[in-house]
Amino acid sequence: MFTLGEFMKHLIKLKINEKNYEFRIEPNILLLDLIREQAGLTGTKRGCDTGECGACTVLINGVPVNSCLVLAIETDGKEITTIEGLSNNGKIYSIQEAFVEEGAVQCGFCTPGMILSSKALLDNNPNPTEEEIKKAIAGNLCRCTGYSKIIKAIMSAARKMRGE
């Protein structure tokens, strides 16, 4: 016999970082909690729980979202990308590498979300202006760096990805 709690659980199937996952979840669980607590991917950070800081940014089918505002159940059948999914077999991803080269990291807590927002931007706009970069990361708050080196890193990653 199912207890009420189990009865209320839903089966969802989704891809996280190109791997197939199945979770039996309660309908009110947030994507952030699913990623951190059930998938064990702690690179996605919790900063405010209200979609204001951007630390929990992940990509759903390539679109950046605050995972603290998304119900996990809505991601059934979708593809999620987290910071752990960017590098392939330990090979550093171009944007990560640019953040390293430009020194665009301090405490590091906003970094995963910042990199994912940058990826979404560059996937759609390989040649962004500085203003477009600022807009793309406006939802990712950073209290340490003053953004300058982050913007430089995104510019530099874009150049590299364009083969310049």
Partner 1 sequence: MDTYSKVGKSIKRIDIYEKVFGTAKYVDDIKIEGLLYGKIKRSSYSHARIIHIDTSRAEKLKGVIAVVAGKEFAENFDDPLFGNPLSDQPFLASKKVRYIGEPIAVVAAVSQEIAEEAIELIKVDYEQITPSINIKDSLRNETTLIHENLNNYKCLPGFHPINKSNICHHISIENGNTEQGFQESDLVFEDVFTHQSTQHVPIECHGAIAQFNPNGNIQLWTSDQAPYGVRKLIADALKMPESKVRITNATYVGGGFGGKLNLSGLMAIIPIAWKIRYRPVKILLNREEEFIGVTRRHGSIVKLKTGVKNDGTILSRSAEVLLDTGAYADLGPTVLIKAAFGCIGPYKVPNIKVDASCVYTNKSIASAYRGYGVPQVCWAYESQMDIIANKLGIDPLEIRLKNIVEEGYITPTEKQKVHAVGLGECLTKVSEKLSRKKIDKNIKNKKRGFGIACSYKTSKTPSGASAFIKLNFDGGVDIFVSSVEIGQGLNTVLAQIAAEELTTPFDNIRVLSADTEITPFFPATTASRSTFFAGNAVRMAAKDIVEQLFKLASEILNIKKEALALKNGAIFNKDSFDKKITITDLLEQTYPGGNSILGRGTYYHYKEGNIPSHIKLESPPLLVWMYGAQSVEVEVDTETGRITILQVLAASDVGKSINPISCEGQTEGGVLQAIGNTLYEELIYDEKGKIMNTSLLDYKIPSALDMPEINSILVENPHKEGPYGAKGLGETVVLPTAAAIGNALYDAIGVRIKDLPITPDKILRALKEKKK
Interacting residues with partner 1 (CB under 8 A): 41-50, 52-53, 55, 82-84, 87, 92, 96-97, 99-101, 103, 105-112, 115, 133-135, 137-151
Nearer to partner 1, 75 or 94 (CB): 94
Give the length of the chain: 164
Nearer to partner 1, 23 or 99 (CB): 99
**Cα separation, 144 vs 25, whole angstroms:** 36
Please report how close the Cβ of residue 97 comes to partner 1 at its closest, in angstroms: 8
Residue with tokens 């059930």: 38
Nearer to partner 1, 78 or 106 (CB): 106
First-to-last C-alpha distance (Å) of the chain: 63
User: Kindly report the CA angle at 61 between 121 and 71, in degrees rounded to 5?
Assistant: 110
Please report how close the Cβ of residue 115 comes to partner 1 at its closest, in angstroms: 7
Nearer to partner 1, 75 or 82 (CB): 82
Please report how close the Cβ of residue 57 comes to partner 1 at its closest, in angstroms: 11
Instruction: Show Cβ contacts of residue 72 under 8 Å, excluding neighbours closer than 6 positions.
Output: 12, 23, 25, 29, 30, 31, 33, 34
127: closest CA among 90, 156, 93? Answer: 156
Please report how close the Cβ of residue 72 comes to partner 1 at its closest, in angstroms: 14
